């Protein structure tokens, strides 16, 4: 109890609150700039957290993540170009509503719904994480290996348009995670005699390279692009069009609750992510709505459903991270890097060894939601101008920030920045050939963690097939992973067959 109160007290300190608000502000701004997102902002901000205490650093990064979700809805609403992929669904109703002269109403609906979904998901995290962590600590290596197998299978199968590319990314990530010193024998593995590779490839260099530099390279590869037409976030003469009244918000309660629950459930599953959550939340709201015909034409309900669902993923994504040490999405993968910078390994043991940090983080997340509401409500019009920042300056600045950050992560130096550039090019190739980045990063992150339980499982498994029956939880996870794979593979094969038949029909 003392640890919990210590954590909450630290979260309520001026420093933590100030950095949470700063994080939310940066997240809002980065989300509002088309082409940038909160993940890129987290990657760029990580080097700046070295001198902060672990709680302040992690809370700052979580603030960026939460702020980015709301910021991403601004370009989606104002010019139909989502700042973040998950905001694409928000654009379906947000942009038509803005075209009707109600851009502020659309943006405020997005803010209130986002904060509601986010808070719901945080409450689930706070209530579920500790009991789940207690259970996880009782799990043996076989169960842990099975959970990792399940996570990797789900991520490989569900993310991206092709299951083959998903597995390609996963296997490549796993292979690269084996570079360095082998855990049991201490011998070198795939280091090619390089001393820089003895500790393995740096997580931050690889992740920042693939995710941020890969995106920057892709933007440069596209060349010059025309600026889209923007709808100005002007106030309407009718005050009702400039905001969302409490009565309107209350009328959305079931939509928000449904989408919040969908986002939480999706977020708790590793790798599925907020884009799928917003699609599922939106389509469920449409099915349940009394006015489904209004969807796609500027429906407030549609905006609320999409935003509540995609924001609910943010908190829930920390469930697999804090209870299993498995990142649920890219932002969580970066948080692992941030935890490591501060000498900590996220996972269930944190609930015993770092109780005050965990509960401080939970408190900071709730503070971030309040900050998000206040900051976003106050700065919506200001951030709407961020969409006008010329793209030809956005990416050069991101490039410079990323390279500078490379000198600071993991004690930096030439090797770290070179790794970053090489993996930036790998990230470009991934984007050119439609290889999903998420399975690669998640496999790379958990590959190293998986090795020891995997080895122990193989030794335990030596007893034969009957030994498997002693691990029913592991069997459930392995079967569930296989079921997801078969389900997705069958659906994709059916889709491909239909496409081939359609093309044959055209001939």
- Contacts to another protein by CB under 8 A: 47-48, 50-51, 161-162, 164, 167-168, 170-172, 174-175, 178, 182, 184-185, 187-192, 213, 216-225, 390-393, 395-397, 399-401, 403-404, 407-408, 414, 417-418, 421, 424-425, 428, 432-433, 451, 454-455, 458-459, 496, 499-500, 503-504
Contact (CB, 8 A) for 303 and 106: yes
Kindly tell me which of 397 and 476 has the beta carbon lying closer to another protein: 397
Kindly tell me which of 146 and 428 has the beta carbon lying closer to another protein: 428
Kindly tell me which of 153 and 310 has the beta carbon lying closer to another protein: 153
Kindly tell me which of 123 and 408 has the beta carbon lying closer to another protein: 408
Kindly tell me which of 125 and 394 has the beta carbon lying closer to another protein: 394
Kindly tell me which of 223 and 464 has the beta carbon lying closer to another protein: 223
Contact (CB, 8 A) for 436 and 210: no
Q: How far is the CB of 477 from another protein (least distance, A)?
A: 18
Q: Spell out a b/e string for 317-329, using b for 16 or more CB atoms within 10 Å of the CB, else e.
A: bbbbbbbbbbbbb
Q: How far is the CB of 160 from another protein (least distance, A)?
A: 12
Q: How far is the CB of 46 from another protein (least distance, A)?
A: 12
Q: How far is the CB of 8 from another protein (least distance, A)?
A: 27
Contact (CB, 8 A) for 161 and 434: yes
Kindly tell me which of 164 and 352 has the beta carbon lying closer to another protein: 164
Neighbouring C-alpha atoms within 13 Å toward the C-beta of 117: 39
Q: How far is the CB of 51 from another protein (least distance, A)?
A: 5
Closest CA to 309 of 275, 271, 286: 275
Q: How far is the CB of 484 from another protein (least distance, A)?
A: 17
Q: Tell me the helices (H) and strands (E) count for the chain, helix number first.
A: 24, 2
3-state secondary structure labels for all residues of 223-285: CCCCCCCCCCCCCCCCHHHHCCCHHHHHHCHHHHHHHHHHHHHHHHCCCCHHHHHHHHHHHHH
CB atoms within 10 A of CB 477: 22
Kindly tell me which of 239 and 390 has the beta carbon lying closer to another protein: 390
Q: How far is the CB of 447 from another protein (least distance, A)?
A: 8
Q: How far is the CB of 414 from another protein (least distance, A)?
A: 6
Q: How far is CA 92 from the centre of its chain?
A: 22
Q: How far is the CB of 120 from another protein (least distance, A)?
A: 35
Contact (CB, 8 A) for 255 and 299: no
- DSSP summary character for residue 52: S
Closest CA to 276 of 153, 123, 438: 438
Q: How far is the CB of 185 from another protein (least distance, A)?
A: 4
Contact (CB, 8 A) for 117 and 310: yes
Q: Distance between CA atoms of 351 and 345, rounded to whole angstroms?
A: 11
Neighbouring C-alpha atoms within 13 Å toward the C-beta of 328: 24
Q: Distance between CA atoms of 141 and 62, rounded to whole angstroms?
A: 30
> Tokens at residue 272, please?
């599925």
The packing angle between helices 253-268 and 103-137, to 10°, is: 40
Kindly tell me which of 2 and 506 has the beta carbon lying closer to another protein: 506
């Amino acid at each position: 109890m003392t640890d919990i109160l210590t954590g909450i007290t630290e979260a309520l300190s001026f420093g933590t609150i100030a950095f949470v608000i700063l994080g939310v502000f940066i997240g809002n701004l980065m989300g509002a700039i088309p082409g940038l997102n909160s993940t890129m902002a987290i990657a760029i901000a990580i080097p700046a957290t070295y001198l902060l205490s672990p709680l302040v650093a992690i809370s700052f990064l979580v603030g960026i993540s939460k702020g980015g979700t709301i910021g991403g809805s601004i370009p989606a609403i104002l010019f139909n170009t989502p700042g973040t992929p998950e905001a694409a669904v928000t654009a379906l109703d947000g942009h038509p509503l803005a075209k009707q002269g109600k851009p502020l109403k659309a943006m405020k609906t997005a803010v209130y719904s986002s904060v509601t979904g986010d808070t719901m998901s945080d409450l689930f995290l706070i209530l579920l994480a500790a009991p789940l962590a207690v259970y996880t600590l009782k799990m043996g290596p076989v169960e842990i290996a099975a959970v990792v197998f399940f996570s990797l299978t789900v991520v490989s199968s569900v993310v991206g348009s092709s299951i083959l590319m998903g597995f390609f990314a996963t296997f490549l990530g796993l292979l690269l995670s084996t570079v360095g010193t082998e855990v049991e024998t201490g011998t070198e593995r795939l280091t090619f005699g390089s001393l820089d590779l003895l500790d393995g490839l740096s997580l931050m260099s690889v992740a920042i390279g693939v995710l941020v530099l890969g995106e920057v390279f892709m933007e440069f590869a596209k060349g010059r692009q025309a600026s889209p037409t923007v709808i100005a976030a002007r106030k309407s003469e009718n005050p009702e069009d400039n905001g969302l009244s409490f009565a309107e918000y209350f009328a959305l309660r079931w939509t928000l609750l449904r989408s919040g629950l969908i986002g939480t459930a999706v977020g708790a599953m590793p790798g599925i992510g907020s884009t799928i959550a917003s699609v599922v939340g939106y389509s469920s709201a449409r099915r349940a709505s009394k006015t489904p015909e209004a969807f796609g034409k500027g429906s407030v309900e549609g905006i609320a459903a999409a935003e509540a669902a995609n924001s609910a993923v943010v908190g829930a994504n920390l469930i697999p991270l804090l209870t299993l040490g498995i990142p649920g999405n890219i932002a969580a993968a970066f948080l692992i890097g941030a935890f490591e910078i501060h000498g900590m390994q996220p996972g269930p043991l944190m609930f015993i060894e770092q109780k005050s940090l965990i509960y401080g983080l939970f408190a900071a997340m709730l503070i971030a939601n309040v900050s998000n509401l206040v900051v976003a409500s106050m700065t919506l019009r200001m951030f709407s101008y961020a969409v006008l920042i010329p793209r030809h300056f956005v990416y050069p600045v991101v490039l410079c920030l990323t390279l500078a950050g490379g000198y600071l992560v993991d004690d930096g130096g030439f090797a770290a920045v070179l790794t970053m550039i090489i993996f930036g090019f790998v990230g470009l190739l991934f984007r050119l050939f439609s290889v999903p980045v998420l399975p690669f990063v998640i496999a790379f992150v958990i590959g190293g963690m998986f090795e020891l339980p995997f080895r122990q499982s193989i030794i335990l498994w030596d007893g034969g097939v009957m030994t498997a029956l002693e691990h029913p939880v592991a069997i459930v996870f392995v079967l569930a992973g296989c079921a997801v794979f078969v389900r997705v593979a069958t659906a994709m094969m059916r889709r491909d067959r239909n496409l081939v038949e359609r093309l044959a029909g055209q001939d």
